[in-house]
Amino acid sequence: MTSSTPGFPLPGPPLPDPATGAPEVDPNAPERHGPLSFDGIRELDSNPPRIWTVIYITTFIACLWVLVAYPSIPFLSHGGDSSRVGLLGWSSRAALVADAGRAAAHEPSIQGRFERASYTEIEADPALRGYAVAAATSAFATHCAACHGREGRGNIGFPNLADRDWLWGGTPEAIEHSLQVGIRWPDHEPTRLSQMPAFGRMGMLQRPQILDMVQHVWSLSGMPHDAAAATRAAPVFAENCTSCHGERGEGNQELGAPNLTDQIWLYGNSQQAVFTSIHAARAGVMPVFGARLGTDAIRKLVVYVRSFGGGE
């Protein structure tokens, strides 16, 4: 190809094909003039295959249908209520409410039985218990695992729910109450409350007294300790601590005061940890779940928590 310019329609008669001498003609657009080939590539003005045209027009019509059938024109919606906008009367919010309703009615018979049964009946009935555990598994992973761990085994400051040591009680009713009202949740009237005084920070006990007290606390659960220091602290314990932790340090669930005689520690048993517990005091906080989850989900969670094996 020597004389030809790129295949763009040019005014004038079609130029001859240099190879054959015949003028080049586009069969789809005979009026096009000029060389249609360049470097052996011929450019024709052909229509696309019919199927593409059909698909193009069909999608166009479908778009128009969606536009009028579903809420898509914001000028017509009323403060978030879009159900009156589209021809179908569809709204994502109404669809959600319907979806949730269907899910609730999924197993009406066993759900109804669950709602009527007491905790004792539920735990005695493998079907009901299994139903609750299955329903609560993902709720626990979503709402509780970040603090209590995937298997409920706890973390520093977040109690193990799988053992037999309970701060506020391991009966179904006590667990349900802990979930309904939360623990030390700020600005929430019915929440579980109790506050150990910060004996060191508030100047009620001096540093050497607290160090002795650490030895005494260790002695309560039979840990290796300095017996002389523990004995020195015994009267101080009787005076300051027994009102909450009990005569022998066995704890008090009314006040959420931990049992100090078992070897289970909420905040750790190192000298530093126990010192801080007495010096600055602790105040574990758990959110309120009552309004967030609703009673039905909470009851299932109670059965689930007890299925860890630590219930009372």
Partner 1 sequence: MAQQPRRRFVDLHGRIERRALVFVFAILGVCSVGGLVEIAPLFAIENTVEPVRGMRPYTPLELAGRAIYLREGCYGCHSQQIRPFRDEVERYGAYSLAAESAFDHPFQWGSKRTGPDLARIGGRYSDEWHVRHLMNPREVVPASIMPPYAFLARAPLDPQVYARHVLTNRRLGVPYSDEQVANAAADMLTQANPDADGAGFLARYPGAAQRAFDASARPTEMTALVAYMQMLGTLAQFDWRQPDPAMLR
Binding site for ligand HEC (CB under 6 A): 143-144, 146-148, 157-159, 161, 166-169, 175, 178-179, 183, 194, 196, 199, 213, 217, 237, 240-241, 243-245, 255-258, 260, 265-267, 274, 277-278, 282-287, 289, 301, 305
CB of 75 to ligand HEC, least distance (A): 37
DSSP lists the bridge partners of residue 81 as 78
Answer whether 144's CB lies under 8 Å from 288's CB.
no
CB-wise, 119 or 199, nearer to partner 1? 199
100 interacts with, out of partner 1, ligand HEC, none, CB within 5 to 8 A per kind: partner 1
Answer whether 162's CB lies under 8 Å from 272's CB.
no
CB-wise, 85 or 213, nearer to ligand HEC? 213
Binding mask 268-287 for partner 1 (x = CB under 8 A): ----------------xxxx
In this structure, what token pair is assigned to residue 173?
């009713």
* Helical segments of the chain, H only: 50-69, 92-104, 108-116, 119-124, 126-143, 145-148, 172-181, 207-220, 227-240, 242-245, 271-279, 290-306
244 interacts with, out of ligand HEC, partner 1, none, CB within 5 to 8 A per kind: ligand HEC
DSSP lists the bridge partners of residue 224 as none
Residue with tokens 């520690």: 265
Query: Residues 6 or more apart from 30 whose CB is under 8 A from it?
Result: none
CB-wise, 1 or 69, nearer to partner 1? 69
Binding mask 66-105 for partner 1 (x = CB under 8 A): --------xxxxxxxx----------xx-xxx-xx--x--
